[in-house]
Chain A
Amino acid sequence: MFSEWLSRLRFAVFRKHRSEVDEELQFHIDRQIEANLAAGMSLPEARRQAAIAFGGRQRTREQCREAAPSWTMELVLRDLNFGLRGLLRNPGLAIVAVLTLAVAIGANSTIFSLLSQALLRALPVRDPQQLVVLNFAGATDGHTHSEGGDRPGHHYEFSYPMYRDLRDQNRALSGLIASAIYNAGATWQSHSEAVDTELVSGNYFEVLGVRPAVGRVFNAGDETAPGANAVVVLNFDYWRTHLAEAPVTGRPISINGVQFTILGVAAPGFRSAVWGRTPEIYVPLTMQKVIEPDWDYLADHHSYWITVAGRLKPGLNAEQASASMNPLFYALREQEFAGAKDRSANNKHHFVDASRLNLESGARGFSPIREDIRTPLIVIMGMVVLVIAMAVVNVASLLLVRAANRVREFSIRYAMGATPPQIVRQLLCEGMLLGLMGSALGLAIAPETLHLLIRWMQGRAGDVSAFAPTLDWRVFAFTAGAMLAGTVIFSLAPAVQFWNPRLADALKQQAANVPGGSLRFRRTCVALQIGFSLLLVVGAGMFVRTIQNLRNTDPGFATDHLLAFHLVPELAGYPGPQVAPVEQRVLDSISGLPGIRSVGATNDSDLVGEGRGGDVYVSGYTPKPDENFDAELPWVSEGYLQTMGVPLVAGRLFNTSDSANSLKTAVVNESFARHFFARPQDILGHHFGRPDRPKTDAVIIGIVRDVKHTSLRDPVQPTCYTLFQQGERPTGLTVYVRTWQPPDTAASSIRAAVANIDSKLIVDDLSTMTDQIDQQIMPERTIALLATIFGLVAALLAGIGLYGILAYSTAQRTREIGIRMALGARRGSVVGLILRETLVLAGIAVGLTIPVAFLATWAVRSQLYGVSLADPMAYAAGILVIAAVATIAGFIPARRAAGVDPSSALRMD
């Protein structure tokens, strides 16, 4: 029984050996000959009769083979082999088609993997659909620390007391978590670096359902009295890349100079409840004073600094929970108002009556940066769709050209006895092979592309990225499947003619005349390709112009030979009163270095999209009712304005006589002065300050020219500079160093000088100003880079498509060209004939596309800067590229056509 199964298994894969069959058949014939001899025939007669009785030997052999179970497989292999040979007969075309498919599949999978992570995918936590993000309407008075994402009626930052009351008193949520992100200095085994630190509530990991990878994560008990529980949980990626997966549980790590104990490592893949945050370590909220020593947030009802999310109780939806929680929120706001300074009816209206708690679905997590990157990602996605459309059209037209060239081959094969199913099977195999090879190549390049793209978008090497380099398999499967289907369908095109009853005629005519309809179709294909590529090339031009404009925007100060780094002595454990002195020592020692022109510092980095500001008063000016004037309020060092090269308009700049203990002074820019006084100079000598903060009062001693401060895109803000030594509290600084030297040399001497003062001080993010600006315009640069790549790919595809059709149509016209030349046409005029046709086609396509390009540019105008929608440069460049591509694509077949020997062309049929 067992051997029976074994033999059946064997036969399923192999068939009987050929010689075995031959021997068996031979025996049969010999036996028949013997029988015939025995019946009295002569030997030749006996042989003849035996052979007649047996019939066709080869046919029997074949029938024996066909009886084998492995026959079907053999057929498939044979078809595949045949298909491969068919493709190899024209390898150039096959390679182009495979590459086209691979680019389309790879690009789509890569970009959509990023898009879905940012916009669609749920957080990697337990039951993300139960999560809600909290925000509220109602006035906030006091200090707000915002990451962005707020909009009128939706403040996402809560105070810690409010969070605690909501968490403990609500009845709609099974858990409410809070978190905030800060920068801190971590020292692990005598190596110090700045790390993104997420302050989280004790129940954070429990409510999200994030498990530890090593040791344990926080539980509700870790949220203790302020400052009492110095424990930390590490992010998995940070632990892997920065700590080399060292055993960490129970080990000490120094954070801002305070000893913390590592409890464990959070599960791989988890980053934060807020999408886009990339914390490297997690610390309990109650340790806020260590992470942000300048402030005391925990007990303050008017410091809004934590984002809050909750998990709905099973069976409740967000509206029901909101209805249940709003009375509680209202009551809490009333209590807060009782402690407010301004208890006017007007303020009560804004603070209490207008307050409302909103619960938004939070499966994807609250994310202030999602809105920022949504448009760039969608623009890129749009470009990918264009490239895919081009790829499909390109592969289709390539296959059709190929099909047309093979009419004769198939006619002959048909005439020789191939059945239509056999021919269809062969075509199917060719199409499948093309599609499969394209998908395989796409799969091979996609993860690497994804990796490169994430690396490129990442600020510093080794940072935890908000994007995980994992390919979205559904997208890949979908794209590859669609491309495969498209390829197979178009590769079947030649089979259509076998339903043509006039096949014999086609064969007789050498199948040279293709109906006009199909030529028109191919021309449409080429026109479409030219259109798509023009769109992409013009788009690329627009984005490249945008970066040029952003880079060349005059911020009001020179950005060359300028190095910048962050210096936050508190990250090295300096207590408040010692911060400003050590910062001054660093500035002094750097300015004493050889090759340094000047040094300046501010707590408000320039041109990196951040700002520190607030409302102000100026003595001698009465604000209009309901006036809401906010100014940028950077604290700077004495040499800052000189280092940045901000020109003085009136009065004086800070100088060495201004110190921590001297009279407090301030310098304002022209916009600031002009807001208060018609003649800007009038502001000199007046006092400036923050309402209700007497320590901020300072005399305005100078006016400087407006310079861009927050970002290159935003207009100039009214700004008031004060000295950091005279500030209310210690602050970290961004130090700017203007050098004569190459940046690398200066960088190492700066590091050495700082280490000389205290090796624990972290010189964070030391880079040139130009690099920092590049970093800030990263979305624009990413779009421009991808647009350029896609534009070039598109132009190349269009060129190939154009070449394909022209090569085919000129080959069809060999005879016509031969006649023309026999009648005296010169080679030049033949080339001109073909080229003219090409350029007319390209011209029509360009003409039709320009309005579309205009519309597309209008749709992405928010991503452009300083480029007119009809930017002549971008359009001219686009049209030039298309013209060049069309000329090259047309010239090759045109020259070949001109090389036709008239006599042989005429003799062809």
Chain B
Amino acid sequence: MTTPVKLLDFITILPVIFLAAWACLLLLVDLWVKHKRVTAYLAALGLAIGLGLLWYQAAWIGNAGFNHMVVLDGFSVFVNALLLLSGLLGIALAYGYLRRMGIERGEFYPLVLFSLSGMMLMAQAADLIVVFLSLEFLSIPLYVLTAFAYPKAASEEAGLKYFLLGAFAGGFVVYGIALVYGAAATTALDGIIAAVAEGRANLSLLVSGAALILVGLGFKVAIVPFHMWTPDAYQGAPSAVTAFMSSAAKLAGFAALVRIFALAFSSLSDDLIPILWGLSALTMLVGNLLAIPQTNIKRMLAYSSIAHAGYILMAFTAFGNPGVAEVSIAAVLFYLAAYTVTNYGAWGVVILLERAGDLGLEIGGYAGLGRKYPALAACMTIFMLSLIGLPPTLGLVGKFYLFRAVIAADLIPLAVIGVLTSLISAWYYLRVVVNMYMRTGDPEISPEPWALTITGLMAILTVLVSLLPGWLFFLASQARLNLF
């Protein structure tokens, strides 16, 4: 069965290889770089080249590499492009923030690149072993990044918590893979499909394996009840890291989830739908309800991020329904893109208001922002409206797409839970707006050019793309999964 390694194999994961190599190089170069800003620009250059390579790669869409261990398809290209852009945004937000917080260390940027290359590999993984490999590859740098603000105790604690629970969740994935292997005698996704089709697979074992993998990946994307680490890790980590991990790690996690379940486990959907149904309903409810009492903006956004994982999972619940799967995957991708844009914008505002020593993070501290910095407050309002899902923002268009998938799958009660929880979410997102415009205060911002640029740009994108979303709908719907 195995074929010797060819050049094509490397082309299929060219951006991943390049990024990992660039990160190694950057670690060395950083030793001689005096101003860490240079490292940041070099890292950004690496990501830009990565985007170029992705473009170059597009000619080979539909190919698999390394004996079908990885695959290059429209889906992976879409996700990887989003990941690379997300990395660029993350670096831009970190650029001034790290210096201001006194944690500007050169290894930050290579760590981001390592993590990204793991995420990109994950989006291309067509074998459960590669899924596990890339899961670890993306997680370990994230653990380090979470604890990056050492010697700050909160950051170290967050890193340790994330690490311990993450390792635990990794165990679930491995165990799940073992069960799947026991059931189908292979870890390759196409092998699993074939085994099920030929009736060789032990279905109950396969369902158990799938459920365990769901737990492990559910941890990564923060689905209730595997979300416990999220608020602490998001709050303790430096804000720039939180921005990055809440967007990019979610993207990668969902990419793997979608690929594994929509391809290998689609035949199990009858068994899995009730589980996904319950998990997504629970995630939307718990995430939104627990966000209400939060007074710290980072913690609130952490719960909001949990809630949004619930919405995405909701659209994916019907993954096994052949008439809906395509809409469902496109909706997930579109929403991930919309969420990335909005989320980075919101974190940009958080970063601009944060001051050393964890100051400026209380929502009450946003009072008066509308008066003092009208443009920034307008941006934040746009992000909050987008997170609620109101026009004219990407959040509404994204939710429209998500709910379309749910309704097409005839899961009306789930959709009702979805819209009612977004009503709940309006309550706490509006609190930020209330503070900014309707209370008086004197907030201070640190006018970092990059963070300001990103915040403004994201606000413009959130509105503009929502008015002309056709092209992104098109791209998301074209980002098909390939079965080799």
Say whether A and B bind each other.
no
Q: Residues of B with Cβ closer than 8 Å to A?
A: none
Q: Residues of A with Cβ closer than 8 Å to B?
A: none
